[in-house]
Homo-oligomer: A and B are copies of this chain.
Amino acid sequence: MNDQPKRIQRIGVLTGGGDCPGLNAVIRAVTKTAIYKHNLEVLGIQDGFLGLVQNRMHPLTEHDVSGILTLGGTILGTSNKCDPARYVTKKPDGTLETHDVTDRCLEHLAINHIDALVVIGGDGTMSGAANFVRRGVNCIGVPKTIDNDLAGTDITFGFATARYVATMALDRIHTTAASHHRAMIVEVMGRNAGWIALESGIASGSDVVLIPEIPFDIQKVADYVTARSRKGRSCSILCVSEGARPLDGKQVVNHVDPTSPDPIRLGGVGKVVADQIEQMTGVETRTTVLGHIQRGGTPVPEDRVLATQFGHAAIEALTSGKRNRLIVMRGRGVTDIDILEAADKQRTITLDHPLLTAARHVGTSFGD
């Protein structure tokens, strides 16, 4: 690594964290822009930082990235929780041990003559990158999150596809609700931010939307469902973020724990809300948890375009001499910010957000 950005000849690219529609589109844009425009070599590092630790990487050619634009997932593979600064191994006796293997990674970067890294990932992956930045490696980050909750950028790829999948599912659920006079609960992704629930709720005309940002009063939700019944609306659709939580502040956990004595913990928040609503209103309920279909599969066109822009911008930033930037979208324009600036900050829905207001005014209840 050195300070003369003009010397960049070979870059490494990796994807970290959960998969996300558009990752391959970024990899393709990075590789094509690097090769076609700047005559750089590109090495694909396998399975996120794990491939850097284990020195698993291979050249990416124009041919390797041909046809991947429409594919979900990542051709490079990913690893969920590999941070070289806190690398976990198992000792012979079965206990776990944590090491800092950053030096080993730096060695692998040097051996492979990698002049800079394009790091595609979310919060966790950018924390991993920060470690390398501190050691002098030029890292250009490309932000990735299904939930759209990364600070610093107005939008990231993957979100539009998740919104699409969730909305299509809500559309399908609607007819069942109407035919059976039921309240149908659909649990969508969003642990800390309710963007998917809010936008797919608006897009599908959901009656109730529950998001992490607005703790809900289950009595108000029940009253709303009852009021709809009285108006002759025989069904209600509730779109619920997995991270939605009741007013009393207890987080409703998402996974069944058979050893837990706490019955509210059986099933995610969607199931809990369904059970309570059925009991309080007498309206039959059903729950669907969309899960991983929101994050897999071919990206919608919006995400393909956005991911292409981000991948392209990463190489443009690198080749114009920038160091340690995060590619972001501000308004309708792609730009970049310091890669450390957005770390550990989240973009949640503010209570005065215009989308929230619009949703309320067209009749959506947020249970508050």
Contacts and interface: CB of A to CB of B under 8 A. Distances in A.
A169 interface: yes
Contacts of A256: 256, 266-267, 271
A1 interface: no
Interface in A141-187: 154-155, 160, 163-165, 167-169, 171-176, 178-181, 184
Contact of A70 (B155, B171, B271): B171
A180 B80 contact: yes
A324 interface: no
Given A32-B361, A37-B361, A301-B167, A296 B173 contact: yes
- Which of A32, A71, A304, A362 has most B Cβ within 10 Å? A362
A297 B19 contact: no
Size bracket, chain A contacts:
35 or more
Residue of A36, A173, A234 contacting most chain B CB atoms (<10 Å): A173
B181 A77 contact: yes
Interface stretch (A103-111, A126-134, A330-338): A330-338
Contacts of A302: 160, 163, 203, 302
A80 B164 CA distance: 31
A330 B333 CA distance: 11
A239 to B, nearest CB: 12
A29 B358 contact: yes
Contact of A179 (B73, B199, B205, B330): B73
Nearest to A233: B66
A47 B288 CA distance: 23
Interface stretch (A4-12, A51-59, A245-253, A305-313): A305-313
Nearest to A172: B297
Interface in A1-42: 15, 18-19, 23, 28-29, 32-33, 36-37
